[in-house]
Every structure is written in structure tokens, then in C-alpha cells.
Amino acid sequence: MNEIVSKLAKMIDHSILHPTMTDEDLRRECEVARKYNVASVCVKPYAVKQAVELLKGSDVLVGCVIGFPAGNSAIAVKVFEAENACKDDAVEIDMVINIGKALQGDWAYITEEIKSVTDACHKHGAIVKVIFETDYVSREADIVKLCQICTEVGADYVKTSSGFGFVKQTNGDYNYVGATIPILELMKRSVGPKVKVKAAGGVRTLDQLIAVQAAGCSRCGATATSVMMEDAMRRFES
């Protein structure tokens, strides 16, 4: 891979999170991550040990979701889950905030929650990405406040979505938007200089990956890794 393609690959957190995924799916998707030498895989808590073993000898890091996907676990449970993932050798933790508490403006609770998980992860040498679920927490003022809290407590990343924040549409269907450029730019403007931004949800093409990179994102969650990377190699290596 040339430098442009390699940099794009190192933006990607390859998501292996769908509820139906089996151990065989995990093996296959870890091979995808290894093939393109992405930044990390993001896996379910029980799969951390397996992913670490499957990616041994590669540069691909292993990350884990916490309180996923709805963010409803008690703070102590999220801390326990994060510490357990770190003990299984996860080095990146993607936590979902308590969405209801954010929507009601209980910022003391949110601060305690993010700080507790962040402190636990940092104690184990892992970084923390805080998922806002912007299909639910959509008010600009709330997003800005969450960015300020993440900056204050020392979180490493702010992140748009879980990829499972489905909202009931007027026709009765459930869908979600995920990362949008205006929200990513707002998050980038609202965090401190040490906090990075991760796009997640709805980024499925190379052009979308390049767009979120231009918006200031350092990472991007993706399931369409193969599609994006094959397109990048055709475009930039031909």
C-alpha cells in the first residue's frame, strides 16, 4: 500500500458487532482487518480474547464496546465491563453514555460516568472513545456540553454513534443517520486539543471516509472496510 492508502486504512476501526455474528464471522472479519492493516477491530466483550489471538503478530489493535448499544448499564457495571475487557487485553474501549441522562441534562451523572470509565481504562493503559448516539442526542447544545465534559475528564475520543441507534420513522420503519459532516465539525470545534473525533454510523464508501477525514476525524468505525479499501487501492495505487 502507498502512503495515502495506508493512512486511510489506519483511520478505520473495523466493526464486528452485529448481534448475529458467530465465532466464524469473527475469524473472517479479523482476517479482513489484518489484510488491510486497519487501525483496530471493535468487538463485543466476550470476543476480546479471541480477537487478540486472531490478530497476534499484526499491527491491528483490539478494541471493545461497553454498555453497548443502548448505554443503559449502571456506572459500576460499565466500569467492571471496561476493566474486564482491559484484562482480556483490549487496548481501546468504546463506551455508550447514558442517553436518557444526557437528554434530561443530568450532566453531573454523565460526568461521573465518563470519568469513572475513563479513569479505569487509563489505569490499564487503554484509551476511551465516548459514544454520544447523535441520532438521539441531537441538540447542538447537548453535543457541545458532552464534548466539554469529555475534554474535562480526559477522554481520548468523542464518537457519534453505535451504529444501532435506530429511530422510528414516520412510516413506522426504524433507521438511523449516524455520522454527519456538520455534527463531526461541531464535535471537532467543541473538544480540547487532546481529544480526537471518531465518526461512526453510515460511513460506507471511500468518498464518505475521505469526507469525515476532511472534517477532522482521526478514526472511523466501519463494516464496509473491504469496499472502501479496494476502492482506495484502485484510485490511489493505479
In this structure, what CATH number is given to the domain that contains residue 170? 3.20.20.70
- Give the chain's domain count: 1
How do the pLDDT tens digits run along the chain, 238 residues long? 899 999 999 999 999 999 999 999 999 999 999 999 999 999 999 999 999 999 999 999 999 999 999 999 999 999 999 999 999 999 999 999 999 999 999 999 999 999 999 999 999 999 999 999 999 999 999 999 999 999 999 999 999 999 998 888 888 888 888 899 999 999 999 999 999 999 999 999 999 999 999 999 999 999 999 999 999 999 998 7
Domain that holds residue 199: 3-237
Kindly list the distances between the CA atom of residue 222 and the CA atoms of 28, 168, 227, in Å, as whole numbers in the listed order: 15, 23, 10
Check if 198 is active-site.
yes
**Active-site residue (options: 94, 135, 142, 156):** 94
Check if 10 is active-site.
no
pLDDT for the residue numbered 214: 97
Rounded CA separation 238/140 (Å): 42
pLDDT for the residue numbered 118: 98
* Crossing angle of helices 225-237 and 206-214, rounded to 10°: 80
pLDDT for the residue numbered 1: 82
Q: Which residue in the block uniquely carries the three cell numbers 493512512?
A: 7
pLDDT for the residue numbered 152: 98
**How many CA atoms within 13 Å lie on the side-chain side of 24?**
1
Rounded CA separation 34/209 (Å): 19
The dihedral built from the CA positions of residue 17, 22, 28 and 30, taken in this order, carries a sign that is: positive
Query: 108: buried, middle or exposed (CB in 10 Å: 19+, 13-18, 0-12)?
Result: exposed
Rounded CA separation 69/165 (Å): 8
Check if 231 is active-site.
no
Please indicate, yes or no, whether the overall pTM of this predicted structure exceeds 0.85: yes
**Spatial CA neighbour of 94 closest among 26, 141, 45:** 45
Q: Which residue in the block uniquely carries the three cell numbers 472496510?
A: 225
**Active-site residue (options: 78, 129, 145, 159):** 159
pLDDT for the residue numbered 176: 86
